[in-house]
Structure 1
Amino acid sequence: MIDLDRDGDIHVITLNNGPNMIEPSWQTRMLEVLDSVESHSEGNAALVLTGVGKFFSNGLNVEVVMGLKGQDMAKFGTNMTWIMRRLTMLPIPTVAAINGHAFAAGAFLALACDYRLIREDRGWICVSEVDVGVPISAPMMNLLKAKLPANTARDAVLSGKRYAADEAIACGFADGKASEANLGREAKKLASSLASKERRIFRSLKQQLNADVDAGFTEK
């Protein structure tokens, strides 16, 4: 479902369950993986988040999630917010290597990372909630508004626009592109270059940069 490997100082989280749709069991595994990353982030550590094949993540498994009731639904929402907060505030550099489609919550996973590289020849990134009829929570909206230019955020949210590589870069959704064969390598290269910065200062600056987003995650 979710694999964790390490290449030197670079942690690599690989989503490897087909469309990588998010449901309670997925959340449980992701929280375990993030625990491991955080507890082994000494030195010049960094993180790359990626998928396999044509999907980065296709978002929530709506059929499963909409079947949750009461405390199970509340727990799912809490865990989703916690996962996004932890990704956003990890004290190490994070790079999303968007290997394929990143829709809805999958797009937010990418946005939670510091940088995003996208496969140049296949895959869209899309905030599709307006089309599938799922609301965007206040913390997720704060994250999106912090990570995207205002016009891009407007179009992404209100139109559900699909962005391929070149337009994603032009609109600020992605920071670069690479071929399928080179995407992982380029993501690790970027992560490694960021990890070479002074660790204490990098962590402090990242906390400052994301302070408003972090506050949004913790508001009641």
Structure 2
Amino acid sequence: MAEPAKDLGVAPGGNRIGPRDCQPRSAPAVSGIGTGLTGISLERRDGCVCIRLARGEANALTTSLIRELADAVEEAGQGARGSLLAGGGRFFSNGVDLDWALGESRESIREMFLELGRLILALLEAPAPVVGAIRGHAIGAGLAMFLACDYRYAAAGRVLIGKPEILLGVPNPYYGDRLLRFVAGDFAASDLIYSGRLIHAEKGRSLGLVHETGPKAEIEDMAWEKLLSLCDLAPAAFAESKRMRLGRFCADLREQMPARVARQTELWHSDDAQTRLREAAERLRRRTAG
């Protein structure tokens, strides 16, 4: 649900990741996962699974992509020691695909927000560790996915994160708002939500949104090593510790979601929001064409 970050010199993908590179290749997927996928790629290593967004440069989200991600996270949680969530070299994800969303019906948009909520809950409730690794921008719903990971690694430099929904005439979805406040605290989260500003990953680290930053060519290696260290912990103890931390939070999200999504859908289709969203989509088209 965001315009792409302006080109600040972030190189497109293709950086070398190193010996534990989880770029898609012919390695087998975790049993039961990986057939018929169109917007993500999966790879198994060391009993873990790398779930990578792979829908063009921006990894803009549609309902089908969100559903693929949620299904993969839920299935990996049952059959893998842990999961690494990753994206592309320029964008982890730029949020909702505006061009796609503006052509969808009210019911389709409601379904999209419900599926996004399911994805966030799947990440938060995964019993096995989930580590996020971003080499590129994480905007809007892209940041929400990243924040739902147990540990978060981001490339240093001109990698931007933020929640600019308010600039497009719509509020954050309830789960995105609550998650940002849960992770960063009300003071910092309110500033990011009300301003819609984007910040660099290093600033995100100072606010508690990012655990570690590092060179772009190494950040996924760093995240993978962290994932493997978490997988060495007693699985039942880790899962129960996570439930104690997030159980009430997730219960609130699940209880509130139907009514909050209904309101979000209503606001999305307001005249003001539709005007702002269409203007943002047009700016994106001009920027892409240029």
Report the TM-score, using the length of structure 1 for normalisation: 0.92
1:3-34 Cα shifts (integer Å, max 9, x gaps): 11111122111112210111122123213322
Q: Which residue of 2 aligns with 1:36?
A: 75
Say whether 1:13 aligns with 2:56. no
Distance 1:89 1:71 in 2: 27
Say whether 1:139 aligns with 2:175. yes
Distance 2:236 2:251 in 1: 21
- 1:106 CA displacement: 0.5
Percent of residue pairs identical: 25
Q: Which residue of 1 aligns with 2:64?
A: 25
| Pick aligned residue for 1:60 from 96, 99, 104 | 96
- 1:131 CA displacement: 1.6
| Pick aligned residue for 2:248 from 212, 216, 220 | 212
Q: Give the counterpart letter for 1:107 in structure 2.
A: L
Displacement over 4 Å in runs of 4+: none
Secondary structure at the aligned position of 1:197 is classed as coil
Say whether 1:82 aligns with 2:118. yes
Question: Which has the larger share of strand?
Answer: 1
* Aligned pairs for 1:1-220 within 5 A: 1-17=39-55, 18-41=57-80, 45-220=81-256
Secondary structure at the aligned position of 1:219 is classed as helix
Q: Which residue of 1 aligns with 2:10?
A: none
* Structure 2 runs not aligned, ≥5 long: 1-38, 257-290
Q: Do the aligned residues in 1 keep the contact of 2:51 with 2:86 (CA within 8 Å)?
A: yes
Report the TM-score, using the length of structure 2 for normalisation: 0.71
| Bigger radius of gyration | 2
Distance 2:254 2:186 in 1: 23
Q: Do the aligned residues in 2 keep the contact of 1:4 with 1:14 (CA within 8 Å)?
A: yes
Q: Do the aligned residues in 2 keep the contact of 1:139 with 1:213 (CA within 8 Å)?
A: no
Aligned-residue CA RMSD (Å): 1.5
Q: Do the aligned residues in 2 keep the contact of 1:56 with 1:102 (CA within 8 Å)?
A: yes
Secondary structure at the aligned position of 2:51 is classed as strand
Distance 2:136 2:168 in 1: 19
Distance 2:159 2:168 in 1: 19
Distance 1:145 1:70 in 2: 28
1:25-63 Cα shifts (integer Å, max 9, x gaps): 21232133224313312xxx1111111111000000123
1:65-84 Cα shifts (integer Å, max 9, x gaps): 23322432222221111011
Q: Do the aligned residues in 1 keep the contact of 2:73 with 2:126 (CA within 8 Å)?
A: no
